[in-house]
């Protein structure tokens, strides 16, 4: 155990810090759940990419920087510590990206990853269907290989696809063997969203914005070279993606530590009012202890990975931990803000408060997306503790 | 930056675990509970033969010279097996205090040598604990008088037993009179020794609580996998699964907090107080949740004397307030994070 950063790691931190100080947008970007904000975030991603900071852990040849996971954690700390924008292309970069690195052909990696790193291609995901949510193996959308084997013909419907209204591509699971059931006979495809036969219908989320969409496929032709992994191996490939999602990459500790810092500041600024409810102070303390524990767990896991360990079902403990922590912190902020909490960005009386409201609304989704926390608890009980199905 | 244990450290832990599995089985715990003194000289002898009493003693005094980080693993094993012995009080907490005395202090090396060979039992009387564990059996007591540290032979104190619900904890109120002959440190030096001792006691307790949490989880998993109702193991029901998944999650996120605290203590970091308090809180909460959900999934059996769970629950309930209760530790964390200019947020987890 040696908890000092190396000179190289310190230098990297300094470099990232300096770059962010010089390049951060002066005004906050518009919400990436709007077309305008989405494009602003795309521009920001391009800037990050040009500085080779968009995907620091990817190999240089694929648009990354070849950093190790400790350096990635450092990057995240600097990035979120500086209050930098949310990552608009995270579905691609953090979910599909690692899957392609593990399962993609060399041709697919070269074709998809650099454009993903630069956000020239924005990706949406296609997992859930109207009747396949927590029970993802109930997928019925079909992808049937053409007789000449050159392409799949996709029919069906996907839903809850985050920011799909604005995205360029979709990756997801389709049933390629119509006689199959459950997790057999599925294939993992990448579909350009401008292909004829694709219809995207936005779904208005509870924040009033088009945060996600449903997607209809009507005889959509998808070239064979867009299949990731082998025919019928989609479930296996998707599970790897789900593991990444629940695991570290999608929700690095830094963004929650940033929220905790902001919460402590909010509490201090409103202490006279907040202390009338003694449980608020407790919740503020737990924001710090909780986010520190999450960060420490990340460093411990990264250290074990570097020594050859693999992340198994404990990834599910991560998902529960960060989503409930994030929700608790935002609930605490709302309680501190009291009657200001309900005010939106358009309310002159609540410029700062409104950002907490946005976060509070989004935090409601945390225990639901990426596999509900109930499903995660089942996974922990069955795969970590070995309890019977 | 490497926040993991070495293979040697993990191997040593494994060896200790295998040893305690046979030497501190639940049947033996019950036997020792029934005795008047609540301790087994034979167990203590075996612990010493394994070198466990020598861990913290400096090498030039016949010990192994290990630091707080090694104890973060060791104490988990002591908790997991709920050993009916206050080994860590002597071998870790007291040894740490004595080793930190100036080398010229009379008896220092002698005490340390005896700790290493397992021939002395030392009770530690920090003011945060109103009662002393093992005062009755101790050969030597380290007692506080203001900032002063006194090393007092057992014969010079009066001991009144105060039974605990955990029959492995033998607590007592101690009456004594400070004397020049027993004084081993005072003033700023004494204050620093007591502060460090509190952190060691709290870290030791935190590690034991985490081990207890894991043991209660394991016992509960075993129970719900074999107990059948409605024709199925009750462990197949989601309501039961989710109780235990929550315990597993608590444990998972308490571990690295304990390790970070041990490192802070070993390196004498300025922020060590808050790190140790965080560990004590996180491990205590994990242990209490493991007890609460453990008894729930055991049903009525969990409320019996017969089922082993009770021994681990009682230890967890007792240790939670030892070496500083939650209010004490939460205040220390609050002091650290609410102070003006506190280094919070991303990037402050390791460097001060």
Q: B61: closest CA among B13, B111, B96, B7?
A: B111
Residues of A designated as active site: 245
pLDDT of residue A233: 96
The yes-or-no verdict on residue A267 having pLDDT over 90 is yes
| pLDDT band, very low/low/confident/very high, at A244 (cuts 50, 70, 90) | low
Phi and psi, residue A135, nearest 5°: -90, 75
pLDDT of residue A354: 85
How far is the C-alpha of A235 from the C-alpha of A242, rounded, in Å?
Answer: 10
What percent of chain A is modeled with pLDDT above 70?
98
* Interchain proximity A374–B238, CB inside 8 Å: yes
From the list B1, B232, B278, the residue facing A70 with the nearest CB is B1
Q: How confident is the model over B169-193, as pLDDT tens digits?
A: 999 999 999 999 999 999 999 999 9
For residue A157, the SS3 value is strand
From the list A257, A304, A381, the residue facing B346 with the nearest CB is A257
Which residues does chain B have within 8 Å of residue A258's beta carbon, measured at their own beta carbons?
A: 345-346
- Cβ distance A4 to A74 under 8 Å? no
Q: Which residue is associated with the tokens 């280094």?
A: B343
* Interchain proximity A253–B224, CB inside 8 Å: no
What percent of chain B is modeled with pLDDT above 90?
98
From the list B253, B255, B351, the residue facing A5 with the nearest CB is B351
Q: How confident is the model over B179-230, as pLDDT tens digits?
A: 999 999 999 999 999 999 999 999 999 999 999 999 999 999 999 999 999 9
How far is the C-alpha of B146 from the C-alpha of B27, rounded, in Å?
Answer: 42
From the list B3, B236, B241, the residue facing A300 with the nearest CB is B3
Which residues does chain B have within 8 Å of residue A288's beta carbon, measured at their own beta carbons?
A: 333, 337, 344
From the list A2, A267, A268, the residue facing B2 with the nearest CB is A2
| pLDDT band, very low/low/confident/very high, at A353 (cuts 50, 70, 90) | confident
How far is the C-alpha of B77 from the C-alpha of B312, rounded, in Å?
Answer: 13
Which residues does chain B have within 8 Å of residue A70's beta carbon, measured at their own beta carbons?
A: 1
pLDDT of residue B9: 95
Question: CA of A3, closest CA in chain B: separation in Å?
Answer: 5
* Interchain proximity A388–B236, CB inside 8 Å: yes
The residue of A296, A301, A307, A379 whose CB has the most chain B CBs within 10 angstroms, and thus the best one to mutate to test that interface, is: A296
The yes-or-no verdict on residue A43 having pLDDT over 60 is yes
How far is the C-alpha of A230 from the C-alpha of B347, rounded, in Å?
Answer: 41
* Interchain proximity B245–A380, CB inside 8 Å: yes
pLDDT of residue A245: 52
3-state SS of A323-383? HHHHHHHHHHHHHHHHHHCCCCCCCCCCHHHHHHHHHHHHHHHCCCCCCCHHHHHHHHHHH
The residue extents of the domains of chain B are 189-348
pLDDT of residue B108: 97
* Interchain proximity A1–B257, CB inside 8 Å: no
The yes-or-no verdict on residue B338 having pLDDT over 60 is yes
The yes-or-no verdict on residue A89 having pLDDT over 90 is yes
Residues with Cβ within 8 Å of A275's Cβ and at least 6 positions away in sequence, in order, are A281
A71 touches chain B (CB under 8 A): no
Give the torsion sign (CA, A192, A193, A197, A198). Answer: positive
CATH superfamily, domain B189-348, is Butyryl-CoA Dehydrogenase, subunit A, domain 3 (1.20.140.10)
The residue of B344, B348, B351 whose CB has the most chain A CBs within 10 angstroms, and thus the best one to mutate to test that interface, is: B344
Chain B contacts in chain A segment 246-305 (CB below 8 A): 253-255, 257-258, 260-261, 264, 267-268, 281-282, 284-285, 288-289, 292-297, 299-300, 302-304
Q: What is the ipTM of this complex?
A: 0.96
Question: CA of B30, closest CA in chain A: separation in Å?
Answer: 27
* Interchain proximity B278–A3, CB inside 8 Å: no
* Interchain proximity B333–A1, CB inside 8 Å: no
| pLDDT band, very low/low/confident/very high, at A247 (cuts 50, 70, 90) | low
Quick one: closest CA in B to A69, which residue? Answer: B1
Q: How confident is the model over B131-169, as pLDDT tens digits?
A: 999 999 999 999 999 999 999 999 999 999 999 999 999
pLDDT of residue B265: 97
- Cβ distance B217 to B247 under 8 Å? yes
Question: CA of B147, closest CA in chain A: separation in Å?
Answer: 30
Whole-number average pLDDT of chain B: 96
Q: How confident is the model over A271-328, as pLDDT tens digits?
A: 999 999 999 999 999 999 999 999 999 999 999 989 988 878 888 899 999 999 999 9
Query: What number is the average pLDDT over the span B239-254?
Result: 98
The residue of B245, B247, B258, B297 whose CB has the most chain A CBs within 10 angstroms, and thus the best one to mutate to test that interface, is: B245
Whole-number average pLDDT of chain A: 94
């Amino acid at each position: 155990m040696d908890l000092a950063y190396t000179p190289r790691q310190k230098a990297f931190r300094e470099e990232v810090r300096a770059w962010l100080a010089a390049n951060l947008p002066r005004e906050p970007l518009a919400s990436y759940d709007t077309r305008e904000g989405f494009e602003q975030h795309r521009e920001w991603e391009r800037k990050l990419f040009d500085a080779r900071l968009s995907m620091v852990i990817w190999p240089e040849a694929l648009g990354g920087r070849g950093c190790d996971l400790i350096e990635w954690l450092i990057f995240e700390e600097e990035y979120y510590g500086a209050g930098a924008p949310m990552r608009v292309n995270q579905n691609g970069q953090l979910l599909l990206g690692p899957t392609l690195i593990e399962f993609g052909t060399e041709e697919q990696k070269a074709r998809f990853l650099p454009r993903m790193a630069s956000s020239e291609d924005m990706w949406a995901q296609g997992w859930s269907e109207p009747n396949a949510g927590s029970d993802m193996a109930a997928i019925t959308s079909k992808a049937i290989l053409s007789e000449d084997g050159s392409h799949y013909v996709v029919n069906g419907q996907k839903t809850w696809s985050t920011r799909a209204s604005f995205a360029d591509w979709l990756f997801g699971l389709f049933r390629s063997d119509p006689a199959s059931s459950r997790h057999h006979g599925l294939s993992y495809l990448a579909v350009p969203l401008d292909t004829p036969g694709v219809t995207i219908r936005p779904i208005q989320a509870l924040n009033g914005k088009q945060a996600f969409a449903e997607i209809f496929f009507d005889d959509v032709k998808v070239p064979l070279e867009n299949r990731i992994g082998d025919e019928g191996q989609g479930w296996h490939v998707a599970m790897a993606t789900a593991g990444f999602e629940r695991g570290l990459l999608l929700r690095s500790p830094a963004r929650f530590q940033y929220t905790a810092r902001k919460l402590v500041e909010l509490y201090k600024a409103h202490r006279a009012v907040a202390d009338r409810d003694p449980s608020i102070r407790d919740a503020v303390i737990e924001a710090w202890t909780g986010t520190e524990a999450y960060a420490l767990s990340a460093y411990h896991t990264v250290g074990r990975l570097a020594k050859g360990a693999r992340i198994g079902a404990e990834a599910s403990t991560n998902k529960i931990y960060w989503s409930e922590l994030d929700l608790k912190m935002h609930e605490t902020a709302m309680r501190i803000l009291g009657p200001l909490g309900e005010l939106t960005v358009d309310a002159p009386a609540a410029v700062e408060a409104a950002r907490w409201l946005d976060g509070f609304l989004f935090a409601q989704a945390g225990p639901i997306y990426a596999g509900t926390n109930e499903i995660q608890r089942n996974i922990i009980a069955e795969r970590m503790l070995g309890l019977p199905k | 930056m490497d926040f993991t244990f070495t293979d040697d450290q993990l191997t040593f832990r494994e060896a200790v675990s295998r040893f305690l599995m046979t030497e501190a089985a639940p049947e033996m715990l019950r036997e020792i509970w029934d005795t008047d003194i609540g301790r087994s000289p034979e167990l203590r002898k075996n612990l010493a033969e394994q070198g466990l009493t020598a861990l913290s003693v400096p090498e030039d005094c016949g010990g192994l010279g290990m630091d707080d980080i090694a104890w973060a693993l060791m104490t988990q094993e002591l908790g997991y097996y709920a050993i009916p012995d206050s080994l860590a009080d002597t071998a870790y907490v007291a040894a740490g205090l004595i080793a930190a005395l100036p080398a010229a202090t009379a008896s220092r090396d002698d005490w340390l040598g005896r700790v290493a060979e397992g021939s002395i039992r030392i009770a530690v009387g920090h003011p945060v604990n109103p009662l002393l564990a093992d005062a009755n059996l101790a050969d030597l007591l380290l007692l506080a008088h203001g900032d002063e540290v006194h090393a007092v032979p057992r014969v010079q104190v009066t001991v009144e037993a105060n039974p605990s619900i955990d029959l492995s904890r033998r607590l007592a109120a101690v009456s004594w009179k400070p004397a020049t002959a027993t004084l081993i440190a005072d003033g700023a030096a004494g204050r620093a020794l007591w502060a460090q001792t509190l952190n060691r006691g709290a870290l030791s307790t935190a590690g034991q609580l985490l081990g207890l949490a894991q043991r209660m989880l394991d016992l509960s998993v075993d129970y719900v996998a074999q107990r059948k109702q409605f024709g199925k193991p009750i462990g197949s029901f989601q309501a039961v699964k989710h109780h235990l998944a929550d315990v597993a999650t608590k444990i998972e996120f308490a571990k690295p907090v304990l390790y970070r605290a041990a490192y802070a203590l070993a390196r004498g970091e300025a922020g060590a107080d808050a790190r140790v308090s965080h560990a004590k809180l996180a491990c205590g909460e994990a242990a209490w949740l493991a007890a609460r959900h453990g008894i729930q999934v055991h049903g009525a059996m969990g409320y019996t004397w017969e089922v082993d769970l009770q021994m681990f629950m009682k230890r967890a309930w007792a240790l939670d307030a030892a070496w500083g209760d939650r209010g004490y530790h939460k205040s220390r964390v609050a002091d650290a994070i609410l102070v003006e200019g506190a280094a919070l947020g991303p990037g402050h987890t390791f460097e001060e």
